[in-house]
Amino acid sequence: QVQLVESGGGLVQAGGSLRLSCAASGRSFSNYAMGWFRQAPGKEREFVASISRTTGTYYADSVKGRFTISRDNAKNTVYLQMNSLKPEDTAVYSCAAASRITPLLRGTQVDYWGQGTQVTVSS
């Protein structure tokens, strides 16, 4: 069992930055692929970024070059650095863990979800 707790969301102006953190409890954090997904009001949840057990990283085209995902296995934590934020980035961002070797790219691949943290970007 893995529990995920996100933090770092908030309100920021367009062009600003935020860093989301996701702290994981439970064993074998390093054995999980970790990712971030987001869901805006009235829209389906979508993939944002993921990092594999071997620290390979994957990004949605909409955030490539602006967001950076990283992990610290010693702290059981995954991060999402978000720069050059746009109003269309406004959403609830959820942390996800998947016990898989291949890249985490879809919500159907997720084994554990966090509760989510709100990110609001004002224009």
* Residue 40, phi-psi category: left (phi > 0), alpha (psi -120 to 50), beta (remainder): beta
Mean pLDDT of 30-46: 96
Mean pLDDT of 86-113: 96
Give the three-class secondary structure for 108.
Answer: helix
Q: Is the pLDDT of residue 106 over 80?
A: yes
Q: Is the pLDDT of residue 26 over 90?
A: no
Position 58 confidence tier, pLDDT thresholds 50, 70, 90: very high
Position 1 confidence tier, pLDDT thresholds 50, 70, 90: confident
Strands 3-7 vs 57-59: parallel, antiparallel or unpaired: unpaired
Cα angle, residue 47 at apex, residues 42 and 51 outer, rounded to 5°:
155
If one compares 76 and 1, the residue with the highest pLDDT of the two is 76
